[in-house]
Amino acid sequence: MPELNLNDLPLFRNEPYTDFSVPEHRKAMCEALVRVRSQLGKEYDLLIDGRWRKAPSRFSSINPSRYTEIVGVHQRATPEIASEAVEAAWRFFPVWRRVPATERAALLLRAAELLRQRKMEFNAWMIYEVGKTWPEAEADTSEAIDFCEYYAREMLRYQNPPPVLQFPGERDEMRYIPLGVGVIIPPWNFPLAILTGMTTAALVTGNTVVIKPSSDAPTVAAKFVELLLEAGFPPPAIQFVTGPGAEIGDALVLHPKTRFVSFTGSKEVGLRINELAARHQPGQIWIKRVVAEMGGKDAIIVDSEADLDRAVQGVLVSAYGYQGQKCSACSRAIVDQAVYDVFLEKLIAATQRITVGPAEDPENFMGPVINERAKQSILNYIEIGKREGRLVCGGNEIPGEGYFIEPTIFADVDRTARIFHEEIFGPVLAVTKARDFDHALELANDSEYGLTGSVYTRNREKIEKAKEEFHVGNLYINRKSTGAMVGVHPFGGFNMSGTDSKAGGPDYLLLFLQAKSIGEVVL
């Protein structure tokens, strides 16, 4: 393989989104949906120590737009199989860590090219398995490509770190070396992008991985593992285990040869992983590292000096894009009392125009929520909201074969309300009145979370104040609170939103590396 040099690569650029209004692009997406539908119901195996294998029992993932339709049949790994996966990854780690960084980066670039070639296919898998609409699936696949391209370049940068100071009579240096075996636990809501980012960051830095996908999105994960192998990654570097986290998650996290855990998901699960990883196990010779990205209760502030039409569009897309099932979704709109009534009227009108239905139909802005449990939880919160606020839009489930819920707005929500504080993870928005901008900031910061936030205002002084005082990991001015771009908006939150990992940023790979300082006396 020819030597890969960072200076020989073009500058990183975010992958452009496909424009589905172009007839040939729309036709290609429709054809991909037909091709993928013909593969629904296939069985997928575990990948342990370079071999595909079965487990004693199976489970199925389903299409949330049509819950009678099975997307994939998967192996239900046992704790014993999970332990085997960690052991296998540990055995291969000494081999993989010695593969030159340039070769590992080249494999990432090859994976990016394969994803680019199969973009429509991966879009289709997400449309069927997790209910992403066409634009949401397209953004997910594009972000996965971005992670491969970006982290390949970042690894080339880290292999030649800046020189340290030289002590007289010595040759001094610092090298970055990999950690060991990483357990990768991605979420279902970004089943390709976040899986790709977490996995490729660990692999390109020389670690081996055990991937445990969400049981709501195992097929997308299986397809991605197949793609990594096709790109040239050695099978023993990647262990793939599927099954409920309640059954195998603890075994993966507690294993003494697990060196780090990379997790994205709920606050409750993230805190449990952090607690388990902190327990020393017999034979464990390190403190495990946990990279955790968890929930959010994200607010958009609409100031008295905002462009209201722009603010309405930003709140709508942030609250109801992918049915509000994003940790970055806007679930609180905090509006200055001077424009509250006008803003609310405009928002209700825009929300009532949202179309809801099967994700494969490009005419639908919203698809289904992920499963029956999520649907019931969201409906329960809507009942709570009826006691805590004024229901002004939506509030009902939509009959059909999928898990559909109307986009819902509660007005006049007090800061003491549960729907003001608790993460609902669905298409439910609480609108709260603020006395002025300072009060709006106070309300926005009244949360145990601190992931994303937006401010709509034309006032430069208020913008600067928000930059200083709005306590979130990702702050946006006069734009939506969702849609962080790799390399542009390094992503990660404060407080109960996680460890502020800043995925897609220049510091992220350091989470998968450790620094070795070397001082050599010149003889």
Taking the domains of the chain in order of start, what are their residue ranges? 6-12+20-294+501-519, 298-485
* Section 119-142 average pLDDT: 98
Residue from 199, 186, 40 nearest 115 by CA: 199
Give the mean pLDDT of the chain: 97
* Section 429-456 average pLDDT: 98
* Neighbouring residues of 335: CB distance < 8 A, sequence distance ≥ 6: 301, 302, 343, 344, 431, 432, 433, 434, 440
Buried b (16+ CB within 10 A) or exposed e, 453-480: bbbbbeeeebbebbeeebbbbbbbeebb
* Section 404-411 average pLDDT: 98
Token pair of 451, please? Answer: 């992931």
* Neighbouring residues of 22: CB distance < 8 A, sequence distance ≥ 6: none
* Section 219-247 average pLDDT: 97
At 467, the pLDDT band (50, 70, 90 cuts) reads very high
Question: Could you confirm whether domain 6-12+20-294+501-519 is CATH 3.30.1490.20?
Answer: no
* Section 400-418 average pLDDT: 97
> What helix, strand, coil percent values describe the chain, rounded to 5?
40, 25, 35
Token pair of 91, please? Answer: 């055995």
Alpha-carbon span 106 to 419, nearest angstrom: 47
Burial of 517 (0-12, 13-18, 19+ CB in 10 A): exposed
* Residue 2 Cα distances to 8, 113, 201, angstroms: 12, 18, 22
Whether residue 215 is predicted with pLDDT greater than 80 in this model: the reply is: yes
3-state secondary structure 42-74: EEECEEECCEEECCCEEEEEEECCEEEEEEEEE
At 339, the pLDDT band (50, 70, 90 cuts) reads very high
What's residue 2's pLDDT? Answer: 58
* Section 404-418 average pLDDT: 98
Q: Which long-range contacts does 472-476 make (Cβ < 8 Å, 24+ apart)?
A: 472/298, 473/497, 473/500, 473/502, 474/328, 476/452
Whether residue 1 is predicted with pLDDT greater than 70 in this model: the reply is: no
Give the predicted TM-score (pTM) of the model. Answer: 0.97
Domain 298-485: which CATH class? Answer: alpha beta
Whether residue 4 is predicted with pLDDT greater than 90 in this model: the reply is: no
| pLDDT tens digits, 469-494 | 999 999 999 999 999 999 999 999 99
Q: 409 - beta bridge partners?
A: 393, 429
* Section 151-156 average pLDDT: 98
Whether residue 388 is predicted with pLDDT greater than 90 in this model: the reply is: yes
| pLDDT tens digits, 41-70 | 999 999 999 999 999 999 999 999 999 999
Whether residue 8 is predicted with pLDDT greater than 90 in this model: the reply is: no
Alpha-carbon span 265 to 519, nearest angstrom: 41
At 5, the pLDDT band (50, 70, 90 cuts) reads confident
* Section 406-413 average pLDDT: 98
Which residues are designated catalytic? 293, 327
